[in-house]
Chains A and B, each alone.
Chain A
Amino acid sequence: MTMPAAAPRPNGRLRWPFALRIEARLDAPRGLATAVSLGAIGVALLLGALILRVVGGDPWRAYGHIARAAFGDVGVFSDTLVKATPLILVGLACSVAFRMKLWNIGAEGQFYMGALGSSIVILTGLVPEAASRPVTLGVMLLAGMLFGAFWGLIPGWLRARLQVNEIITTLMLNYIAIAFVNFFVFGVWSEGGFQMTATFQRAAWFPRLSDLADQWPGLRGLTTHFGLVLGVIASAVVWFLLYRSRWGYEIRLVGDNPKAAEYAGVNITRNTILVMMVSGALAGVAGMSEISGVVHRLQTSISPGYGFTGIIIAWLAKLNPIMVVPVSVLFGGLILAGREIQPAGVPRLIQGIILFMLIASEVLLRYRVRLVRVAAER
């Protein structure tokens, strides 16, 4: 493909002597992917600045404000990490499913089911109030995973056995899950008619940094909770699963070429169901972690769309479980700053442009763009 950088003059005397040439890349140098991604983010920020300038704002002040509001001091950074925690887990949930080209956009619903599952064991008294913290949290975690996995099993089974499009089923199951949780919050465990249940016992709370303030006063008021540790552990586990386990190899094989996987004797039906369950379980852990770490009870609107942001995060991390962590922190910061400076305004716009640029930049990994002298080409 060759396209002239400027239209040639009809008389041919004055011609722009260069042309852009786009060629397929045969091999990518090391670090190219990282460089291209960082470049894309840079371009996105510049574009955002341009838009801010055009509408009359001061882009550098806006960016400065966002940075301060999200990463400015230990306090806000701690809040950023709180926002990042569920994002890491749903981002991992999406990454696992997307690796096998299963388009699970139901992490939101699986998140709610996980939250419901972990609350049920408390609210029904399945875990006695006197139970120790590790036992309580362990049972909650397990219940959250099971509920989330079940919410992944339904579309997984439908896809594997009946070829039902999982995009539709997972999307629809989101609404069912949210309505289901609402039913319990309003109808069964409502606290005095409010849209929330009673606060859970302390044993059901994740430890926070501020719990350690007695020993280290500097940690006072920091809300970062144990869920973050869970998220980081999960990202390592998912990485190991995908790249170092036999099952992960099967997932990658099916994701890249289902026909080759079949030819290699991989059971695609079983893997489809299992991967959807693992994906659902991870999103369920995110729901559990929000309950235990942030709200300490079951209530409506526990998620401002974490499950959907997870899709973007998985994509920006290029489905790499380790990269999910920093990307989530960045997005956690943007969410926090969004609240600070303008709800649903500039930070959302920047999120959108970043995503757009990163996806558009993929082409640079496959093709190289060169400026060539027209004369040299002849």
Chain B
Amino acid sequence: MMDVPLAVEMRGIVKRFPGVLANDQADFDLQRGEIHALLGENGAGKTTLMSMLAGLYKPDAGTIRLGDETVSFRSPRDAIARGLGMIHQHFTLIGPHTVTENILLGMDKPRFLLNLAEYDHSMMDLGERFGLQITPTAKIWQLSVGEQQRVEILKMLYRGVRVLIMDEPTAVLAPQEVEELFKTLRAMAGEGKSIVFISHKLQEVMAIADRITVLRQGRVTAPGIPSASTTKEDLARMMVGRPVLFAVDRKPIQAGDVVLELEGVCAANDRGLPALREVSLKVRSGEIVGVAGVAGNGQREMADVITGLRRCTAGRIRVHGQDVTNHPALQMIRNGVSHIPEDRTHVGTAPNLSITDNLIMKTFREPPLAKGLTLDHHAARKKAVQLKAEYAIQAPNVEVPTRQLSGGNLQRVILARELSLKPRLLIAMQPTRGLDVGAIEGVQRLLLDQRNAGSAILLVSEELEEIFALSDRIVAMYEGKIVGEVQTRDPETIGMMMTGGKRSPSEAGAA
């Protein structure tokens, strides 16, 4: 095994999920002692590809070889036994237990008597070897996210992995923690371990990786190129720059009055950290403003703040010139703001309630559905049947619980509900994510019709081609800020902006 340079070889990997081709004939190889970055947009299939290497999924086609041997893992346990371990974005640690206890969990030894003190020592030693500072007796809940990540790495090292896959490891880290992580990764590579570093951040990838593989829509667009021989611009192009698949017919129309105005809006994310930093933005009626950006850069918080689901900590929000800052969600609905949320099942619908119940979520308070304090279920049903036909929702009847609907049909339920309100302002979050091509076109057409009818639309999408196809104006968002309005429809420039690449000095000054 020592003289085999390739630690891992994946060939022709195909993985399908219902309605989605996650990996299409993807190849990937990994050498001993290298740090190999897997770069791509969200949904490009990076995590899926690596999950197959870590034994979480089985590929539908293709082979995985370790050295000279073809392998097929039945579980992550199998993979770890063969020296392949993966650290996920969401850690799998137990809060009230100590670092040592977490690392030992699931191991064969110790069998019965724990003798933790002895193990504490070996954890310390192992940590020092790779420059991982830890306190073995600390409880997990006392640790920062960066420290918890170190515990996850130690867990893998303790299990003797030779290949460590890290899924977006820097997403949760502060800049100085990123530096420390990089030191550790280099130390591990120095000992002959191989590391797969999944990321969509160009700068980090250039800083840490020896080689880079780029994935786009499940396919490899750059197979293991040395990072020294490429540039960020090239990578950005390979990551996002694809030809537009189909063009929707977007006639230019004159934008009207300002409907939505954000002025220096700030907000915190669910963990209480700043997520929106002084965002200022205007959307006029009859206009689609596209927000380009990689998920997790404040888009969701922005949508929540506008729709009254999240507190605005500073700044003002106006709808039709009226100050609506921190109005509750119900008030925002009455202000004519519709919202297609990013998370269809956890926010957009109540999965165990019927299509009817889901369609009336925002109209049940007013006539004709409301009759005094009662709800006219005949009227509700009639409305639902009508919307089902109008928006081509495919279901046997309107009594079906929405959990039984496919992604595209679920989105149609949400669109039917939100668009039938005839909104003055529509916040559309990832409206076509995960849908197949036909469904995408239908949804995009509905959005354009709504614009032509005079609504103001704020479109948040990670699909650049969608932004290009639909938007009248485009802004890029990165780390909670609007980093600029994009004049050219050039994927490279915008790709750089939304991945935190440096812009030219003149542009930077303008923002």
Chain A interfacial positions (CB closer than 8 Å to B): 26-27, 243-249, 252-253, 256-257, 259-267
Contacts and interface: CB of A to CB of B under 8 A. Distances in A.
Contacts, number: 73
A26 B402 CA distance: 11
A257 B350 contact: yes
A245 B369 CA distance: 10
A246 B365 CA distance: 7
A259 B346 contact: yes
B375 A245 contact: yes
B362 A244 contact: no
Interface stretch (B104-112, B159-167, B351-359): B351-359
A246 B375 contact: yes
Interface string B387-402: 0000000001000100
Nearest to B395: A27
Nearest to A253: B350
A245 B400 CA distance: 20
Contact of B341 (A249, A252, A263): A263
Given A244-B374, A256-B353, A263 B364 contact: no
A254 to B, nearest CB: 9
B149 interface: no
B489 interface: no
A346 B329 CA distance: 54
Given A245-B375, A262-B309, A256 B351 contact: yes
B425 to A, nearest CB: 15
A244 B349 CA distance: 20
26 contacts: A27-B396, A244-B375, A245-B375, A246-B364, A246-B365, A246-B373, A249-B357, A249-B364, A253-B361, A256-B350, A256-B351, A256-B352, A257-B349, A259-B346, A260-B348, A260-B349, A262-B309, A263-B307, A263-B309, A263-B339, A265-B308, A265-B329, A265-B332, A265-B362, A266-B330, A267-B330
Nearest to A266: B330
Interface of B: 307-309, 328-333, 339, 341, 346-353, 357, 360-362, 364-365, 370, 373-375, 377, 396, 400, 404
Given A245-B374, A246-B364, A257 B404 contact: no
B404 A264 contact: no
A257 B373 contact: no
Contact of B347 (A27, A249, A256, A259): A259
A261 to B, nearest CB: 8
Nearest to B346: A259
Contact of B377 (A27, A244, A260, A264): A244
Nearest to B375: A246
- The listed residue with most A CB atoms (<10 A of its CB), out of B330, B348, B350, B404, is B350
A114 B137 CA distance: 52
Contacts of B332: 265
A219 to B, nearest CB: 38
Nearest to A263: B347
B429 to A, nearest CB: 12
A253 B341 CA distance: 17
A243 B376 CA distance: 10
Contact of A260 (B361, B364, B374, B404): B361
B375 A257 contact: no
Contacts of B347: 257, 259-260, 263
A264 B361 contact: yes
A265 B329 CA distance: 5
Contacts of B360: 249
A256 B353 CA distance: 7
Contacts of B349: 257, 260
Nearest to B332: A265
Nearest to B343: A259
A252 B362 contact: no
Contacts of A243: 377
Given A246-B370, A263-B341, A263-B348, A26 B404 contact: yes
A259 B330 CA distance: 13
A245 to B, nearest CB: 5
Contacts of A257: 346-347, 349-351
Contacts of A252: 350, 353, 357
A106 to B, nearest CB: 26
